[in-house]
Amino acid sequence: MNGNSRFNPPNILTLFRILTVPVVVLLLYTPDGRDIPFSRSLAAMILFTVSSLTDLFDGYIARRYQMVTSLGKLLDPLADKLLVCAAIVMLIPSGRVPAWMVVIIVGREIGVTALRGVASTEGLVIAASSLGKAKTVLLSIGVGALILNYPILGIDVHLLGMLFLVAGLVLTAWSGMDYFFRFVKEIFK
């Protein structure tokens, strides 16, 4: 298989991540704000976790084996945002996460994506920062725990998820401001 093919292994992993989003949404769907049953929570958490972990592998494989493509550069960050944002939005009706937190997280993701789009039309690239990567890890762990939500082996999984989500929320705001200031700096060079 040609390493620069659009359908190389890293891009297939990214497409898998995108295709899992509707399944996770369906598993977390609860009409009338009822809680999500344990079996569906567990299935959604496993799928969310496996899907999130593909992000580690697709980037590593793409860089290690020189399979970086324009399609991958576009879809990879989009896949991460879709998975986390879709899952966290679906946790609002069951009361597992406050809506105001979701608004900040989703708003930041839309804002950063818009800034990157504007930058690219100007021929600028605003690379992902270590803050943004740390934010993604914290949010993924927090959202995964909140998807599961039920106590396991005496561990309050909901509290654990909220702790990671709050830490991720702080980095969400911080990294969003960082992207904005780097954008302004690049524009006015």
Domains in the chain, number: 1
Q: Is residue 3 part of a domain?
A: no
* The pair of three-digit structure tokens given for residue 22, joined into one six-digit string: 């509707």
Q: Is residue 64 part of a domain?
A: yes
Query: Other C-beta atoms within 10 Å of 35: how many?
Result: 13
Tell me whether residue 163 is exposed, middle or buried, using C-beta atoms within 10 angstroms of its C-beta: 0 to 12, 13 to 18, 19 or more: middle
CB 28 within 8 A of CB 87: yes
pLDDT of residue 26: 97
Q: Residue 167 belongs to what domain range?
A: 9-187
Q: Which amino acid is at 80?
A: D
Q: Is residue 160 part of a domain?
A: yes
pLDDT of residue 4: 59
Query: What is the rounded distance in angstroms from the CA atom of residue 127 to the CA atom of residue 15?
Result: 21
Q: Which H or E element spans position 174?
A: helix 157-187
The pTM score is: 0.91
CATH of the domain at 174: 1.20.120.1760
Query: What is the rounded distance in angstroms from the CA atom of residue 50 to the CA atom of residue 23?
Result: 13
Q: Is residue 4 part of a domain?
A: no
Residue 1 has pLDDT above 60, yes or no: no
Nearest-CA neighbor of 83 among 146, 136, 41?
136
CB 144 within 8 A of CB 157: no
Residues 22-73 have pLDDT tens digits of: 999 999 999 887 899 999 999 999 999 999 999 889 888 988 998 888 888 8
Residues 99-154 have pLDDT tens digits of: 999 999 999 999 998 988 888 888 887 777 899 889 999 999 999 999 999 999 99
